[in-house]
Amino acid sequence: MLSSTAEYALKAVLYLANNAREQPVRVGEVAEALGIPQNYLSKILHELARDGVLTSSRGKHGGFQLAHPPDKLSLLTVVQRFDRIAEERSCLLGRPQCSDRHACAAHWRWKAVSEQVSTFFRETTVADLMAGEAIAA
């Protein structure tokens, strides 16, 4: 469903949410805890920072933190840069002749399913995915 890049992003954001603290969290810690290649994760987190999902600080004691409270952060916001998951195609096959105006028998059923997926990512927040308690590093 999600590309591995998008899944990494989501897992990392979730880790930051579950392990919130005063100081920023190092990439190395997140990478090790989640089993994600460190340099690759570094690039992903940097992109999330550029999107305003995270804040990054450089230098000693640097690292990443959530830019906003988890209940204000939708899964779509985290994932949209890496996966075009919420882009609704009215026709499963991308055919113009199968549109709302001239729909095949399956058109409306597919559209309904597709919209449910979009809605899930749009309306579910990181807080909804959080564990009850922090996970040890």
Partner DNA sequence: TCGAAACATCATATTAACATGAGAATAACA
Partner DNA sequence: TGTTATTCTCATGTTAATATGATGTTTCGA
| Interface residues toward DNA, by CB under 7 A | 3-5, 8, 24-28, 37, 39-40, 42-43, 45-46, 49, 56-64, 82
d(CA 127, CA 137): 19
| 54-57 and 63-66 beta bridge pairing | antiparallel
Q: Among residues 61 and 112, whose Cβ is nearest to its own copies? A: 112
Nearer to its own copies (CB atom), residue 49 or residue 130: 130
Q: How many residues bind its own copies (CB under 8 A)?
A: 29
106 binds, among its own copies, DNA, none (CB under 5 to 8 A by kind): its own copies
Distance of closest approach, residue 57 Cβ to its own copies, in angstroms? 26
* 70, interface contact from DNA, its own copies, none, CB < 5-8 Å by kind: none
42 or 114: CB nearest DNA: 42
Of 47, 16, 17, 18, the residue nearest 29 (C-alpha): 16
Alpha-carbon span 134 to 9, nearest angstrom: 18
Residue 112 CB, shortest distance to its own copies, in Å, is 8
Shortest reach from residue 51's CB to its own copies, in Å? 20
Question: Containing H/E element for 122?
Answer: helix 107-123
Which residue's CB is nearer to its own copies, number 1 or number 22? 1
Return the axis-axis angle of helices 27-34 and 38-50, rounded to nearest 10°. 120
Detail the DSSP E strand segments found in 18-99.
54-57, 63-66
12, amino acid identity: A
